[in-house]
Structure 1
Amino acid sequence: MSLTPQWLDELRARTTLSTLIGKSIKVQKAGREYKACCPFHNEKTPSFTINDEKGFYHCFGCGAHGDAIRWMTEQRGLPFMDAVKELAAAASMDVPAADPRAAQRAEQAKGLHDVMQAAQDWFVGEMNGADGGGARDYLKKRGMRADTIKAFGFGYSPDSRGKLKRALRDFGDPMLVEAGLLIDPEATGDVKRDSYDRFRGRLMIPIRDPRGRVIAFGGRILGAGEPKYLNSPDTPLFDKGRTLYNLDRASPASRQTGRVIAVEGYMDVIALAQAGFGECVAPLGTALTEHQIERLWKMVEVPILCFDGDAAGQKAAIRAALRALPLLRPGHSLCFATLPQGQDPDDLVRASGAAAFESLLAQSESLVDRLWNHALASSPLDTPEQRAALKQRLSEYTDVMTHGDVRAHYAQIFRERHDALFFARRAFTPIPQRTQRAQRGKVDRRGQWQAPIAPPITETRAIRATGTEAMLLCGVIAGLFRYPDRIKAHLEELSALRIADPAMAALMEKLLAGAMREESVETNGLLTILGTGELYNRAKGLLRADALTFTFTRKKADENRARRDLDEAIRVIAAGPEIDAALAEATRAMGEDLDEASYLRQQKLRELKAAHAQRLADLMQPEDTV
């Protein structure tokens, strides 16, 4: 059947979203919209909004967002076509009929599904029978629980050329060959032999489609021999480049966790599921393909790829990264978790528990970082030619990106990192600076503070007087006294800061004024400006080597590193109020006019706020002694 975009739009238009959702949860009128307590997360105050006019719902608390069809698939858990059929019936619309050729293919597929299910039942029976002792011992050795064995449908194929063929003879050889269960010698030119079982002497693992139907098998050899794993060939039901193992179970699990994890193989998926990570999938004996990446993006915007720490695993990770580059679009990316050398997920969770794997995921590396680090490690960077080659490699990454905005941001980040590495320019930062510079305050040449011309739409908050942000501010001011050349380098950002602590605000004002009055500024000169009062004592206290744990507050530190760390700290502390102000403005705009553009802007800013929080946390981590 062919569901055109026009037909789907008509279906959405005929569906009153508030009525549909009201069948499952209590909704109440709120102006032109409806509100309810969000069904996707626990809350007491309604933050879930339904807009019938625009045809979508949105939760300001957890970010859940979608239309009528998505409500049926996400909240009701229906497959897409079942959701469409139910909505169409309620809207008195006929679902477009399939053409004859499509109907014939569907009938053929139905027969093959019956064959595959019969084979699955037979393999399970064989594993539980007299011949399956070796398979049962293997699973016991791997620590598989009985409930896991049942849930994932483990079976066994006896070491025989014809047992399966005889057991399923009612289906006929042609259908068994088409299903990939038998090998047809005639296909290889050997007309003297009969067809025979493809899987022999192997632990059998069923591969299912998103609806949970068996479409193929993976077989692991139990004794010596090659290949270690054998997959079904491509069939009318199974395309290994488009299929992800465990997708049927991982999809509902990912809706609960908000993430999906791609690992290298079946047994990795199963071991992690047994350890509590049900949102795992795996490619099927090949590198992650473009189709599989797109399928992951239908589940979450930034899936986690978790590969082994050996050379083969890291090669697979960078291959997936490169394949994703032409597909990148706003909001959709990849991140990478790397297992310890010599360990697979099963080893890790058995040795260190589920918390160790959770910690590994928390340290995932972004796609831009993975590309940058791979480019850096590809060759030495000692000569001008080698450094130019690095820049060329980075350009090759961005050249294949098809989305203009994504390509521009990657190019900017790579350029800033390259220049910071080799030309001592400002280090990389993804935090946008406010473009309305006329609205910033500044210090004039006489050292006098000038107020901003006009306040922004949403005024930035002050740097807090307590907590981690205040501690970072103390470190920044101490660092500026120790490295006063960084004041002019960050004059605009520092001038724009609003500081809640009066003493710290006065210290910053003195630093800015001193830097503007003098051509070259030294620590002692800045201290002299403070006189002998309370500010002087505060500054001297900050300059004590044991006062704070940052590299830029220590007496004995690598100066280049300390300056880089101080630059980063200034950008982080300046960005926090800016992001909060932008997010507040975006949230206010959404409240006035909830549309896709305002929703996407708010989501971007929420991601930016989370990234900023991580940068702040990273800066507050104690450094090893330099």
Structure 2
Amino acid sequence: MSLPPGFLDELRTRTSIAQVVGRKVMWDPRKSNQGKGDLWAPCPFHQEKTASFHVDDRQGFYYCFGCHAKGDAIKFVQDTENVGFMEAVEILAREAGMPMPVRDPADKVRVDRQTRLLEVMEVAQRHYRMQLQTGAAAEARAYLARRGLSPEAQARWDIGFAPPGWQGLWDHLTGCGLDPDLILAAGLARASDKGRKPYDVFRNRILFPIRDGRGRVIAFGGRAMDPNDNAKYLNSPQTEIFDKGHTLFNLARARETAGKGQPLIVAEGYMDVIALSEAGFGAAVAPLGTAVTEHQLRLLWRIHPEPVIALDGDRAGIGAARRVMDLALPLLEAGQALRFAIMPPGQDPDEVIRAGGAGAMRKILDEARPMVAILWERAIEDRVFDSPERRAALERDLAAAVEKIRDPTLRHHYDEDLKRLRWELFRPARGGGGGGGGGGRKGGWTREPRRRPVSSTKSSELVQAMPRFEEELREAVILATLIVHPALIARFAGELEALVCATPDHAALQQALLVLPPPEEGTSFRDALEARVGPAPLEKLFSLSHVRIAPPVHDPADHEKAALCIAHEVDRLMRLRGAERDIEEGMRDLEGLADEGVTWRLSQAARARYGAGPSQEEDGADFELAPNGAHVDRDERDAFADLLGRINYGKGRT
């Protein structure tokens, strides 16, 4: 449906974004100035304790300095109510007292039909609810009581019952005057192929209503009371109002509860969700009889940046967790992740709560593991790494999995974590005895490498003494480029936030770039930056020779060239600091007994850190460090020589 010119402008004029947002947040009275329409609150889109979510009621927009969510009142309703653009417009127009424009005939017919289908579902829900109180439902009520659901809890969840008869619901709905075609279209009955009247889809089942993001009943999930039934659980078929891959059980309640700071938990079934919610974990949802879909995963991230996947502790549950991981890998972004809480063997969340109460469940959730741990465990499960070929195969498999991650910064951090885990697995054992790597896991070396004593040196002191010239250089180019091209800040916000600055001036500029709002047209971003941090850090930054000659600093119009420059500098900086971490780990190993594997790894890391070529250790040649080809200064060269001397001592060389 198209809207006439001026309709949205009129809607935005009549709508106070402060009132719309105020239904979902608590304003911070210390930072807010309501008289000027300048309002601050903790962000409703991600968990935080400080008020970084800003609403400008006069301009009619919001912006979060934490997660960078932004938009107007329509966008806010879309994201918080999980509705489409036109539905958000309808909600705001109704509140503002504005009649919606007349739809085109086909659209009006479709919406009217959906409204009538929803009315049929509500009548069916009331009927099923009443049936749970009849004598035919005695066994169903006893089952619910055994599962720990009181009558009050049953009422809260609108649990119902479908008696064993074939046409009970059909007769009731047609007796209420409802259109038989709508009953069939709602998925409540099926036409008979034997010339008889249609029969009910749900028979002799406990029924759980499935609601959409606005709390409307769109389907049912039924649990069979007959143990010999072909399907223990049965969902409504796909209809015009229900797509099981596009919604979640308990979606509306969970979204509201997660917005108040509770963790979002993804369980396997209806009873798990109900048990979690009744135990105080109200932000619990479940997929509807299928594996989690990409649409459901994106929906989860719209509710919470880090949902917890809580699955049974058997092989099926672990397999389901791994399938979710494979689905999530290409969709991951900085600040958008999954954690996995695996239940004890043979238990689901409902059983954990009944056995140990909410405290037992909270302990498991607190110990939920990051996705990289699940990826690593699958890679090494039931494998032995007693040869170079097998170890290379592990590295190949991990690289193939990480390659699916599209975000370069996140991919780098996965690489770093997996590299650390591989080193711990293959690291030769200390002391006497055979060398099985990985703390007793399958894998490791087949023989213990030759070891020699080395001098004891505090590795942290050595690494801290290393000059940071190149890090400062690359940080300066990154910061200066972002200042000249502020439109790129949002694009590189994750990389900027992860930057560990080498100087206080760089740290001050980094913080200012993260919190300052995007510049308005005709305003100077550098002036706003100077007002926040003062002129000295900016003058010092732009007086550096390597900043003055950087191409993106000279060309403020070419954003793509600037983006390429930032990406290159960030990548190189990460590589440098990764090499430093390798050196620090290796030096810790050298404090005790060293072997050839440790010293070889340290030598390679040292060359990577200082830009040395493979033969420069021997011939004493200068090696280059800076992007413009400048030679390393004497302090850098001395640090490298000192480090190699200590490594060579560890190899038994003089």
TM-score of the pair, normalised by structure 1: 0.63
Please say if residues 312 and 347 of structure 2, whose CA atoms lie closer than 8 Å, have aligned partners that are also in contact.
yes
Please say if residues 368 and 410 of structure 1, whose CA atoms lie closer than 8 Å, have aligned partners that are also in contact.
yes
Shift of 1:96: 6.4
Which runs of structure 2 are paired with 1:184-195 in the superposition (5 Å)? 184-186=191-193, 191-195=194-198
Of 232, 237, 258, the residue aligned with 2:236 is 232
Larger relative contact order (Cα-Cα within 8 Å, sequence gap ≥ 6):
2
Shift of 1:194: 3.8
Shift of 1:385: 2.4
Which runs of structure 2 are paired with 1:460-471 in the superposition (5 Å)? none
2:651 is matched with which residue? none
Of 22, 34, 39, the residue aligned with 2:38 is 34
Of 196, 204, 216, the residue aligned with 1:213 is 216
2:154 is matched with which residue? 149
The percent identity for this pair of structures is: 37
Structure 1 position 182 matched with structure 2 position 189: yes
Give the secondary structure class of the aligned counterpart of 2:458.
helix
1:492 is matched with which residue? 463
1:49/1:292 CA distance change after superposition, 3 Å: closer
Of 202, 207, 211, the residue aligned with 2:205 is 202
1:584/1:134 CA distance change after superposition, 3 Å: farther
Unaligned 5+ segments in structure 1 are 425-481, 498-574, 599-626
Please say if residues 258 and 300 of structure 1, whose CA atoms lie closer than 8 Å, have aligned partners that are also in contact.
no
Of 360, 374, 377, the residue aligned with 2:378 is 374
Please say if residues 210 and 247 of structure 1, whose CA atoms lie closer than 8 Å, have aligned partners that are also in contact.
yes
1:465 is matched with which residue? none
Shift of 1:115: 1.2
Please say if residues 74 and 255 of structure 1, whose CA atoms lie closer than 8 Å, have aligned partners that are also in contact.
no
1:493/1:285 CA distance change after superposition, 3 Å: farther
Which runs of structure 2 are paired with 1:370-519 in the superposition (5 Å)? 370-377=374-381, 379-419=383-423, 421-422=425-426, 487-488=458-459, 491-493=462-464
Which runs of structure 2 are paired with 1:341-356 in the superposition (5 Å)? 341-356=345-360
Structure 1 position 115 matched with structure 2 position 120: yes
1:3/1:420 CA distance change after superposition, 3 Å: farther
1:308 is matched with which residue? 312
1:55/1:313 CA distance change after superposition, 3 Å: same
Shift of 1:302: 1.2
Give the secondary structure class of the aligned counterpart of 2:260.
helix
Shift of 1:590: 4.8
Structure 1 position 333 matched with structure 2 position 340: no
Give the secondary structure class of the aligned counterpart of 2:397.
helix
Please say if residues 401 and 407 of structure 1, whose CA atoms lie closer than 8 Å, have aligned partners that are also in contact.
yes
Q: Output one character per residue of 1:558-605: Cα deviation in whole Å (capped at 9) or x when no partner.
A: xxxxxxxxxxxxxxxxx999799987654444555467999xxxxxxx
1:291 is matched with which residue? 295
1:63/1:286 CA distance change after superposition, 3 Å: closer
Unaligned 5+ segments in structure 2 are 429-452, 469-498, 530-654
The amino acid across from 2:217 in the alignment is V
Give the secondary structure class of the aligned counterpart of 1:171.
coil
Shift of 1:329: 2.4
1:143/1:580 CA distance change after superposition, 3 Å: farther
Give the secondary structure class of the aligned counterpart of 1:267.
helix
1:514 is matched with which residue? none
Give the secondary structure class of the aligned counterpart of 2:234.
strand
Q: What CA distance in whole angstroms lies between the structure 2 residues aligned with 1:332 and 1:44?
A: 18
Shift of 1:284: 0.9
Give the secondary structure class of the aligned counterpart of 2:145.
helix
Range that drifts further, 577-586 or 392-401: 577-586
1:411/1:97 CA distance change after superposition, 3 Å: farther
Of 211, 229, 253, the residue aligned with 1:249 is 253
Q: What CA distance in whole angstroms lies between the structure 1 residues aligned with 2:504 and 2:340?
A: 28
Structure 1 position 280 matched with structure 2 position 284: yes
Structure 1 position 124 matched with structure 2 position 139: no
Please say if residues 245 and 284 of structure 1, whose CA atoms lie closer than 8 Å, have aligned partners that are also in contact.
yes
Range that drifts further, 278-287 or 378-387: 378-387
Shift of 1:378: 5.5
Please say if residues 501 and 507 of structure 2, whose CA atoms lie closer than 8 Å, have aligned partners that are also in contact.
no
1:592/1:136 CA distance change after superposition, 3 Å: closer
The amino acid across from 1:350 in the alignment is R
1:10/1:397 CA distance change after superposition, 3 Å: farther
1:556 is matched with which residue? none
1:158 is matched with which residue? 163
Please say if residues 17 and 73 of structure 2, whose CA atoms lie closer than 8 Å, have aligned partners that are also in contact.
no
1:168 is matched with which residue? 173
The amino acid across from 1:210 in the alignment is G
1:86/1:106 CA distance change after superposition, 3 Å: closer
Q: Output one character per residue of 1:395-437: Cα deviation in whole Å (capped at 9) or x when no partner.
A: 221333344444444345434543564478xxxxxxxxxxxxx
Of 101, 109, 116, the residue aligned with 1:104 is 109
Shift of 1:240: 0.8
Q: What CA distance in whole angstroms lies between the structure 2 residues aligned with 1:267 and 1:158?
A: 20
Structure 1 position 69 matched with structure 2 position 73: yes
Give the secondary structure class of the aligned counterpart of 1:180.
coil
1:70/1:297 CA distance change after superposition, 3 Å: farther
Please say if residues 42 and 53 of structure 2, whose CA atoms lie closer than 8 Å, have aligned partners that are also in contact.
yes
Q: What CA distance in whole angstroms lies between the structure 1 residues aligned with 2:259 and 2:12?
A: 23
Shift of 1:129: 1.5
Q: What CA distance in whole angstroms lies between the structure 1 residues aligned with 2:466 and 2:331?
A: 41
Structure 1 position 322 matched with structure 2 position 293: no
Of 209, 222, 225, the residue aligned with 1:222 is 225
Please say if residues 262 and 281 of structure 2, whose CA atoms lie closer than 8 Å, have aligned partners that are also in contact.
no
Give the secondary structure class of the aligned counterpart of 1:257.
coil
Please say if residues 35 and 47 of structure 1, whose CA atoms lie closer than 8 Å, have aligned partners that are also in contact.
no
Q: What CA distance in whole angstroms lies between the structure 2 residues aligned with 1:406 and 1:257?
A: 25
Give the secondary structure class of the aligned counterpart of 1:243.
coil
Shift of 1:264: 0.3
Shift of 1:218: 0.8
Please say if residues 312 and 345 of structure 2, whose CA atoms lie closer than 8 Å, have aligned partners that are also in contact.
yes
1:520 is matched with which residue? none
RMSD over aligned CA atoms reads 4.5
Please say if residues 18 and 34 of structure 1, whose CA atoms lie closer than 8 Å, have aligned partners that are also in contact.
no
Q: What CA distance in whole angstroms lies between the structure 2 residues aligned with 1:46 and 1:265?
A: 36
Please say if residues 69 and 84 of structure 1, whose CA atoms lie closer than 8 Å, have aligned partners that are also in contact.
no
1:54/1:185 CA distance change after superposition, 3 Å: same
Q: What CA distance in whole angstroms lies between the structure 1 residues aligned with 2:50 and 2:247?
A: 41
Q: What CA distance in whole angstroms lies between the structure 1 residues aligned with 2:454 and 2:362?
A: 39
1:496/1:185 CA distance change after superposition, 3 Å: farther
Q: Output one character per residue of 1:94-115: Cα deviation in whole Å (capped at 9) or x when no partner.
A: 8665443222221111111111
1:471 is matched with which residue? none
The amino acid across from 2:185 in the alignment is E
Q: Output one character per residue of 1:276-315: Cα deviation in whole Å (capped at 9) or x when no partner.
A: 1110000011111111101101101111110011000010
Q: What CA distance in whole angstroms lies between the structure 1 residues aligned with 2:241 and 2:323?
A: 27
Give the secondary structure class of the aligned counterpart of 2:115.
helix
Shift of 1:196: 1.1
Q: What CA distance in whole angstroms lies between the structure 2 residues aligned with 1:3 and 1:579?
A: 53
Give the secondary structure class of the aligned counterpart of 2:291.
coil
